[in-house]
């Protein structure tokens, strides 16, 4: 799914998030700093990233349907903000209370749905080209 250069970039981003968590330990305990940093990334980036992956796949043969990394990052933040809030509100209307655990399960459910969609559409695209 990711090329070797992209894997290195993800590793650098992960290491810098850990380093930023270590810097935050000046004011917070280490586990709270980790929870804060990775919670922000999970809430404000990851769902939008997978939405942008489904909408604008990187392995698409259509060059006009592809976007570069800067556009993908900005779009990921905007899509996450505009998706997670209504998702939590919708589940709250169905009687599921708003708590950290429930929001985490809702976001992971959304990510699982998006990854499944991406896998399904990438495989159906492979069938159409053969």
- Whether the CA torsion 16, 114, 78, 73 is positive or negative: it is positive
Asked if 51 and 27 count as a contact pair (C-beta separation under 8 A), the reply is no
Contacts of 4 (CB under 8 A, 6+ apart): none
pLDDT computed for residue 23 by the predictor = 85
The Cα 45–Cα 77 span in angstroms is: 5
Report whether pLDDT(129) > 60. no
From the number of C-beta atoms within 10 Å of its C-beta (0-12, 13-18, 19+), residue 47 rates as buried
3-state helix, strand, coil in the chain (%, to 5): 80, 0, 20
Q: What is the mean pLDDT of residues 10-29?
A: 83
**Sequence spans of domains, the chain:** 4-129
pLDDT digits (tens, 9 = 90+) for 48-75: 999 998 888 877 676 666 788 888 889 9
The CA-based dihedral angle spanning residues 10, 14, 19, 22, taken in that order and rounded to the nearest 10 degrees: 170
pLDDT value at 90 more than 60? yes
């Amino acid at each position: 799914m990711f090329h070797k250069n992209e894997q290195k970039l993800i590793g650098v981003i992960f290491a810098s998030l850990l380093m930023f968590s270590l810097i935050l330990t000046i004011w917070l305990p280490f586990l709270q700093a980790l929870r804060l940093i990775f919670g922000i990334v999970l809430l404000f980036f990851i769902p939008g990233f997978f939405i942008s992956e489904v909408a604008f796949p990187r392995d698409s043969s259509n060059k006009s349907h592809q976007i570069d990394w800067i556009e993908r990052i900005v779009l990921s933040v905007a899509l996450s903000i505009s998706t997670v809030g209504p998702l939590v509100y919708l589940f709250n209307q169905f009687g599921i209370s708003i708590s950290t655990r429930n929001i985490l399960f809702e976001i992971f459910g959304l990510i699982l749905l998006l990854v499944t969609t991406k896998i399904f559409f990438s495989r159906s695209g492979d069938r159409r080209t053969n």
